Structure 1
Amino acid sequence: MKYSVIYITLLLSFSAFAQEQLSLEDCYQLVDKNYPLAKQQSLLENQNAYDLEAIKTQALPQLSLAAQATYQSEVTQVPIPNMGIEPLNKDQYRATATINQLIYNGNRIEASLNAQKTNLKTQQKQVEVSLYQLKKQVNQIYFSILLLQEKNALLEAKQEQLTTRIKEVKSGIEYGTVLPASDKVLEAELIKIQQQLLDNNYNKNSLFETLSLLTGSDLNPKISLENPELTAPLQAGISRPELELFQLKKEQIQANEQLLSKNNYPKLSGFATGGYGNPGLNMLDNSFQGFYTVGLQLNWKVFDWNSNKKERQSLLVKNDIIDTETEVFNLKTNMELRQQESDMQKINELIATDNQIIKLRQGVLKAAESQLKNGVITASAYITELTNLFEDETNLKTHTIQLLLVKANYNITKGQ
């Protein structure tokens, strides 16, 4: 029982810890799952299922009903006297039911089904592309929050240093080794740090609200964002869903071209019509009669003024347009990748110089701390050196987060 309680406690602790961490990949997955546009995937499948069923009904028997009542100014008469043939009524009635069954139409139904399935794949890929393009927006917000977290950590470290210095300075004032009011200068700087922390927290809360809307999740601003380890993609080519979309559009054109080609095939169907009316099929019988007819019907559009041919040529032009769009997309993507590679190289060099500057600043600040403690320099001079180090450390953190952002965008641009 004791071990069970310990296990449960550890499990609850782990769950609570897990909820306090959020990774960049978690944000991507939340967007793919919860963003309103993601619902279109299942909606498109439902719509496609109805469309496919509607197309399949073309192969089923088609029943139609018709009824009419007419009054004619003249009726057919037999111009032979004394034949005992009663003339037709001028008011005539007819009700019919007709069943048509498709026998052959050049596999046009199969072509329509194929075109509809290709259309579904294209629409779903378009949704995927739209969701994929949100990732850079997620990157911008995520790394902005991460930078604020890093700045807060630096401010808290600076706050701790100042608190220690204030205690030392007050002790020096008490023993006459430090100028009076030096502690007030440090305390004023401490209040400035509190202002900066407050401003950062408001900005972070605002960014978390935006990220919550994007991911469709109620994210607590106290959640700690993980610092991702990002590397450049290994593959040489571009692997973006947009390229798959272009290919699916071309397949859609091919499916529509095959469907158009079926329009010139003859259409053969059988029919059966049953009816009741006055007159029936026997025009000489002036009474209500039942009747029926059965037969075959062939429809073949032999000449359409090259309409079908022109529509197919239009599809070929559209295919060339998609090739052009693909070429433009690859060109723009490669240009963006080259710029991002240049940015990564530049930021890496800046980080190297940041580390050199910080190392020098730390030595200067260490000397300033000793001088302040012994009353050699003023508190203002110490704050200047402390602020210089803080700004340089902030530059390092900023460049580090910028490098991560560029790497994350590079992976998205590449399609990693």
Structure 2
Amino acid sequence: MKTLYLLGLFFLTTIFGYSQSNISLNECYESLKTNYPLAKQRAILEQQKEVELSAIKAKTLPQLNLNAQATYQSDVTEVPVPSIDIESLNNDQYRATLTANQLIFNGGKIKASQGLQNIISNRKQQEVEVNLYQLKQRVNQLYFSILLIDDQTKLLNVREQQLNSKLKEVKSGIENGVLLPTSDKVIEAELLKILQQTKEATNNKSKLIASLSSLIGVSIPIETEFQKPLLSIVESSDLNRPELALFNLQKQEIGQQQNILSKSLVPELKGFATGGYGNPGLNMLENDFTSYYIVGLNLNWNVFDWNANKKQLQALDYSKELISNQEEVFRLNINTALNEQQKEIETLESTITIDQQLISLQQEVVNTSASQLKNGVITTSEYITELTKLYETENLFNQHKTQLELAKANYNTLKGDIK
């Protein structure tokens, strides 16, 4: 019974999607690699490779050709010797043959073709990986935007609690005649604004979660907790982007094409056997249906091609140079983007240090304002103004912290350190 319960739970989880109470950035990456529609191409490409290799391998097997023909000739061969009684051939002639050709030697062209097909398949698989990897920056943007809204919502909740607590004090001050009768209305208006901002944040979060869920192919409930990643960056000159592996495979593909071209001038040797039945047979003087056979070897060698092969090899060399140039441009663009991202990280770290100092100073101002409000020295509006400044400072602090983690995630993504 327990086993059935567990199986049922697993089945429901599979149907209705993501059921965990929290999710991490790495889990989003993994789900993207697994569930994004483009990922289905991996299996399709693997099946395609097996079919292509099988078709190439079939060239090493005997090739059978069936040929049949019936003809009528206006004239036939005759022997112009009156003393020899040789019957003339019929004007209508028939022939059916079955020929088997077996490749014996072709300089390794088939093996080279199989190697090329493997490289082509690997290149296509790597193109899928590149396209999937490039979506990770979109995942970063959505994930950290959700974290930013979570931080904003937490601050709104804290501010709401502070205002509710202060509202009790203000109402008590009004009853005791210390504060003006409308002092509580200012706080109540501020509480309504917080309610409005909280609803807007919830709606925005719902939209972002829907976009992230659609992107990674996982159903994420609104109550799911998004874990804050603690990211670090490794400053080195090595790039691990999948595009670099793709450039390498493209060069390998061209190299293998050159290998096949170099073998195209190698002689090709085949053995053949032909069995036939017809009238006439091999003996052209026998006017009757007979069976016959022929066995032999066939050598095919393109001795001179007017340097066409050499020119094709040169053209492929230029293709290699183009790919090398594309790789050079890619590395330059990525390194430039990494430098910009590094500067942004340094700027945000400096900004966060100042934010902490501002929060500390503004907190002292709010504490003083709270005491002054309690004693009727300042109005509720003045207190709310200082409290709003603290909220805005804390909100900027959280925003800068999230932007810092996003900058680190984007740096690692640009560098290729995220798998």
Q: TM-score of the superposition, structure 1-length normalised?
A: 0.94
> For residue 173 of structure 2, what is the amino acid of its counterpart?
G
1:289 maps to 290
- Whether 1:35 and 2:36 are equivalent positions in the alignment is yes
> For residue 69 of structure 2, what is the amino acid of its counterpart?
Q
Indicate the SS of the match to 2:261: helix
Measure the CA separation in 2 of the matches of 1:344 and 1:240: 21
1:212 maps to 213
Measure the CA separation in 1 of the matches of 2:227 and 2:398: 15
Measure the CA separation in 2 of the matches of 1:221 and 1:18: 11
Task: Give the 5 Å matches for 1:76-225.
Answer: 76-81=77-82, 83-225=84-226
CA deviation profile, 1:125-160 (whole Å, cap 9, x unmatched):
121111111111110110000100000000111111
Measure the CA separation in 2 of the matches of 1:156 and 1:266: 83
Indicate the SS of the match to 1:19: coil
1:374 maps to 375
Measure the CA separation in 2 of the matches of 1:255 and 1:249: 10
Shift of 1:124: 1.4
2:69 maps to 68
The answer to whether the 8 A contact 1:246-1:322 is kept is yes
- Whether 1:348 and 2:352 are equivalent positions in the alignment is no
> For residue 193 of structure 2, what is the amino acid of its counterpart?
K
Measure the CA separation in 1 of the matches of 2:327 and 2:118: 23
Comparing 104-113 with 168-177, greater Cα deviation is found at 168-177
Measure the CA separation in 2 of the matches of 1:202 and 1:75: 94
> For residue 42 of structure 1, what is the amino acid of its counterpart?
A
Shift of 1:85: 2.2
2:313 maps to 312
Indicate the SS of the match to 1:401: helix
The answer to whether the 8 A contact 1:233-1:414 is kept is no
1:58 maps to 59
CA deviation profile, 1:215-261 (whole Å, cap 9, x unmatched):
11111121111111011115442221111211121112111111111
Comparing 257-266 with 36-45, greater Cα deviation is found at 36-45
**Seq. identity, %:** 51
Q: TM-score of the superposition, structure 2-length normalised?
A: 0.93
CA deviation profile, 1:33-83 (whole Å, cap 9, x unmatched):
111111222221111111111111111111111111112222222233363
Runs of at least 4 residues off by over 6 Å:
none
> For residue 211 of structure 1, what is the amino acid of its counterpart?
L
Measure the CA separation in 1 of the matches of 2:19 and 2:269: 67
Shift of 1:18: 8.6
2:358 maps to 357
Which segments of 5 or more consecutive residues in structure 1 lack a partner in the other structure?
Answer: 1-7, 9-14
Measure the CA separation in 1 of the matches of 2:128 and 2:87: 72
> For residue 319 of structure 1, what is the amino acid of its counterpart?
K
Indicate the SS of the match to 2:78: coil
The answer to whether the 8 A contact 1:141-1:211 is kept is yes
Shift of 1:284: 1.4
Measure the CA separation in 2 of the matches of 1:230 and 1:224: 18
CA deviation profile, 1:249-302 (whole Å, cap 9, x unmatched):
111211111111111000000000011111111111222111111110000011
1:301 maps to 302
The answer to whether the 8 A contact 2:19-2:220 is kept is no
1:4 maps to none
Measure the CA separation in 2 of the matches of 1:321 and 1:145: 42
Which segments of 5 or more consecutive residues in structure 2 lack a partner in the other structure?
Answer: 1-5, 7-12
1:337 maps to 338
